[in-house]
């Protein structure tokens, strides 16, 4: 039986009522299908970042880390904004945003691994939304380039020029005390 999708702009309630096997995001009230599963390299990179963050969280007890799919509800009323970042981190001061069903508010760090099918959406449109809703750090990882671009909010609430991290470098973040990410270990060899 076909599902009737509510008309634009959607609220979170409209989105949550959709009962099919597809995955979606809602960008400013617009329902966006997630499409087919990403390529294996995308999953490999996202998984390694998740594992590095998770290992640190497990060892220190500092925060929580999740991997997609997780609904991040940045705005519930019309026009809703509900995103599913590849990896997300919450520091101790943000744990109250975690509910049984979803996340209510911005993560402290969002990681998006860009695939050809989502690169424009993630690098432009979602970047603007993460900035608008105050995500302190946004890590962009182009799927076919061995680099991590880290954008941090400045004092005016805008993302400053990205810091690039390449293999051979270590990514550190003020959001997670003591965390160090060896960039070379994130990217699979020989692909």
Question: Which two three-digit tokens encode residue 101?
Answer: 């069903």
Q: What residues have CB less than 8 Å from 166, skipping those under 6 apart?
A: 146, 147, 183
Over 50: is that where the pLDDT of 1 sits?
A: no
Range of the domain at 145: 37-185
| 79 close to 14: Cβ distance less than 8 angstroms | no
- In-domain check, residue 141: yes
What CATH code is carried by the domain that includes residue 173?
Answer: 3.90.1570.10
- In-domain check, residue 3: no
What does the pLDDT look like over 38-95, one tens digit per residue? Answer: 888 999 999 999 999 999 999 999 999 999 999 999 999 999 999 999 999 999 999 9
- In-domain check, residue 191: no
- In-domain check, residue 173: yes
- In-domain check, residue 23: no
- Percent share of the chain, pLDDT over 90: 79
Smallest CA-to-CA distance from 181 within 66, 51, 41 is with: 51
Total domains in the fold of the chain: 1
- In-domain check, residue 26: no
Question: Which two three-digit tokens encode residue 81?
Answer: 């904004």
Alpha carbon distance 8, 10 (integer Å): 5
Q: What distance, in Å, lies between the first and last C-alpha atoms of the chain?
A: 41
DSSP 3-state of 17: coil
pTM: 0.92
For residue 124, what pLDDT is reported?
83
- In-domain check, residue 7: no
């Amino acid at each position: 039986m076909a599902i009737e999708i509510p008309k634009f702009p959607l609220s979170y309630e409209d989105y949550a009522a959709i009962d099919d096997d597809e995955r979606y995001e809602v960008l400013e009230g617009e329902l966006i299908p997630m499409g087919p599963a990403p390529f294996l390299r995308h999953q490999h990179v996202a998984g390694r970042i998740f594992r590095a963050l998770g290992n640190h969280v497990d060892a220190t007890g500092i925060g929580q880390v999740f991997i997609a799919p997780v609904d991040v509800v940045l705005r519930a009323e019309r026009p809703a904004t509900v995103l599913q970042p590849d990896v997300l981190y919450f520091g101790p001061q943000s744990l109250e945003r975690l509910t049984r069903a979803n996340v209510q508010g911005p993560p402290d760090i969002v990681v998006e691994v860009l695939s050809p099918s989502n690169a424009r959406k993630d690098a432009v449109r979602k970047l603007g939304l993460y900035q608008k809703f105050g995500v302190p750090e946004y890590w962009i990882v182009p799927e076919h380039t061995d680099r991590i671009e880290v954008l941090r909010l400045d004092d005016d609430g805008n993302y400053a020029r990205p810091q690039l991290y390449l293999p051979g470098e270590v990514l550190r973040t003020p959001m997670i005390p003591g965390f160090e990410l060896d960039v070379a270990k994130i990217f699979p060899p020989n692909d």
